[in-house]
Structure 1
Amino acid sequence: MKKLLCAFFAGVLASSLTACSEDEDPNAPTYTETSDVEVALYKLLPESSGKAASCRSRKVGEHYYLACNYISMGTAPSSLYVFYYDKVKDPVKRFYALNGKAMSLYDGQLKYEPILGNYKDSFGLPLPESINMGEVMKAFEFMRK
């Protein structure tokens, strides 16, 4: 349990260091917003799972994204749940499930989290040319190692 807490707080510290540099851009996700998503994902885990949720934001092209996964000591990280960040579309929602994993998780377990939405429901499909999923996934490749 101590190892899990250390891993969780190390992730929180890394997020806060990343958030400090991103806070210079008023369009970037805030540390609090990112933490809200991380906590929502963490609450889905069974207490004895030995896992923690980890989320990081990045700007790719002209948009900000948040990628999250589950981590634990000694095992590979889970697949990525990718969210599109937008604070204009809705006064409460900030992160919109963008990839299939995130959409499935949102539709199945996170639909009632106020800060989350589903990209296809809120913005429609197809994705605009300014969103290149290949580039977005590549920007978060570091989280899969």
Structure 2
Amino acid sequence: MVSRTRFDDSECPVARSVDAIGDWWSLLIVRDAFDGSRRFGEFQRSLGVAKNILTARLRALVAGGILESAPASDGSAYREYVLTAKGEALFPVIVALRQWGEENFFAPGEPHSELVDRRQGQPLRALDVLAADGRRLRPDDTVVHKVTPDERS
């Protein structure tokens, strides 16, 4: 069996993020948690994923502090998986992936699910990357500042 490359000690925030939630099952579990799924069976029915894979992904998301396992809210013997603050901070990532998918993987007029503002029932405005002064930024407007050896602790 090939071991997975780990990036949890990388200097790159993207690499560390992908290390924590970078497979499709984990992102879809987080998506379903935002949609209200809390129990193992709910995730399993929604995703159609094998139980052993779901178990492994849920354990990893709990170990990574993205979900926490809590007693069932109805008082039953079941456990529920609840987004932590760290998990809730993934909301813009899920919205960005959704909007990117809507723009790039559906034909005009092709039906798909839609994320709407609960209060007003309207679709969300497209996410933008903005500079500190409010300017909209494109990839050519940014540069990654690499950490130098003397900046490391």
- The structure where strand makes up a greater share of residues is 1
Which structure's relative contact order is higher, taking Cα pairs within 8 Å and 6+ residues apart?
A: 1
Name the larger-Rg structure.
2
Please indicate, yes or no, whether the TM-score normalized by the shorter chain is above 0.5.
no
